[in-house]
Amino acid sequence: MFDDILSSEERDTTKTNVLNADRERFERSRTVADQQSLASTPLAASPSPSTPGPSSYIPAKFDPNVLRIRTIRFGPYDIQTWYDAPFPEEFSNIPDGRLWICEFCLKYMKSRFACQRHRLKCKCRHPPGDEIYRDGSVSIFEVDGRKNKIYCQNLCLLSKMFLDHKSLFYDVEPFLFYVITEVDEIGARFVGYFSKEKRNSKDLNLSCIMTLPVRQRQGWGNLLIDFSYLLSKKEGKCGTPERPLSALGAIGYQKYWTLAIMRFLQTAPEDPRLEG
């Protein structure tokens, strides 16, 4: 249609075709850029080890040689994973075994390049849902699995990498998720969460609980457990966690109830009885 305006040389578009050599050159350039950017960015010092703790607490199935995703980059931290999670097949062959996760919307990505582009576009600065608790820099959000399905599914995939018994991934609609965050000048940074069924006949107040490894041994787990009982108190129910407990879950509840009993005994009358 432009024969009378453009010459044959000007109409030639063969030089604009994308060839395999062009794709390979682009991938090489992106890999080099990712490596240089990673080398120039120091990792933040982790406040606690990224393993469950003493060697007796390390899960028996932990084997870094068989994990498809061996490390996640979450905010400023590189965190070693403990278990495999059922991410889509396209995430099974990541070259360096590192998954990049946005700490606000929990979207997962394959490379630093994709993560940096996501940060420019992502407007999330706190979990979706309602903020139902605030004390200083600590906030807890109630997230409905039906209203915020993608976020809750990403949350379940994240927790599976640190929980052996985790089985819920995509059917999140019957659950509420209570996400605890620490707020700074950038936003509400994810710390941990617990989930509970919206309707159950056994007064279960907690189905699953997880705190990021870099946030463990700082009292966050105790706060989440205490919050689950406070919710039961508001509902006029006794409340109990779903059983059987995981190994780390049992340790967390033992510590919580030991502390609760010691606090009671500080102000209890003399010779208290269990019946009282």
Which residues form the catalytic set?
242
> Could you tell me the two tokens for 241?
């966690």
Q: How far is it, in rounded angstroms, from Cα 74 to Cα 69?
A: 13
Q: Of the candidates 143, 126, 142, which has an alpha carbon nearest to the alpha carbon of residue 183?
A: 126
Beta partners for residue 78, in sequence order: 73
Q: How far is it, in rounded angstroms, from Cα 196 to Cα 141?
A: 13
